[in-house]
Copies of this chain bind each other. A is one copy, B any other.
Amino acid sequence: MKNISDIAKLAGVSKSTVSRYLNDGSVSKKTRLKLSKIINEHDYQPNQFAQSLRATQTHLIGAIIPRMNSYAVDETIKGIVSQCHQHHYQLLLNYTGLQIEAEIDAIETLSRSKVDAIILMATDITESHLEVIDKADVPIIIVGQNYPGLHSITHDDYQAGLSVGNWIGQRQPHHVHFFSVTENDIAVGIHRKNGLLDGLASHQIKPSIFETSFKYENALEDVQQYLSQIDKVDVLVGATDAIALAIHKYSFNSERNCKPTIIHGFGGDPMTQIVSPSIRTIQFNYFEAGKRAMTEVRQLIKNEKTEESVVIPVKL
């Protein structure tokens, strides 16, 4: 692989001229043309490591994702990527497979890799998270959860819940059951639930609530166990689309004859439209959240102050 000196020699100029040509551009037309030609001929590419070694910026953004085959993650990353392209950042993806420890590791590794910033799509912020985040002297932004003292992008879960609650309430159902998740997850387990309850309450409806898991398989078991004891259902709501899909699976099982008129989820996962009958869901602006994460990140890199917590409105 050729380096800058080779090009300089070939062009009969000094390294600095080549460097200047590559960066500022304060170079005479003649040499510019000459260099342009030579660089193309040899398709020379400056060595990123040498560049990064000198510069403080690496133009690398690290993103930590808990899983991959998820509509939410996919859309968010798309949003991030779109901005990366535009601003010439490279995205360094780090996949954790939903394991907390891997998340911590990833933060360390990425900050060692001198990424300019880290975008963390976390499910849950633990003590260990805070420790590493504190140590790593890299701007970090959390997407999907917020935490006092950390920069974050979240969706308006309360609003989403409220909207769904109202929509359901208007239909005057008698038997509403809500499958929620742990309150450890502030966004989903608390805000979303509260929104839903308030929405329903404004129509004098009080659903029964049952707590289950984020994981489809576990949710399926729970739903099965719970619903087998219930004989009247009008509306079944899952706190996430995955849970709604589990509800659907059990409800439209051939053995089961008490079927709900409506199943509702949260998230806008296309899968809700693939099953029959389809599941009603509410769209979050994942793509927008990804884009916004990048603009925040760029602010942070430039050391400009930004709002600590950004809330993305839901699609209504």
Contacts and interface: CB of A to CB of B under 8 A. Distances in A.
A69 interface: yes
Interface stretch (A205-213, A222-230, A249-257, A298-306): A249-257
Contacts of A74: 67-69
B277 A249 contact: no
A109 interface: yes
A47 interface: yes
Interface string A87-98: 000111111010
A139 B296 CA distance: 36
A20 interface: no
Contact residue range for chain A?
35 or more
A91 B81 contact: no
A105 to B, nearest CB: 9
A45 B110 CA distance: 12
A271 B248 CA distance: 12
Nearest to A252: B276
A48 interface: yes
A80 to B, nearest CB: 9
Interface string A38-74: 0000010101111011000010000000011111011
A114 interface: yes
Contacts of A43: 135
When A and B form their complex, which 3 residue pairs have the shortest distance between CB atoms, in order from nearest?
A93-B93, A69-B74, A68-B74
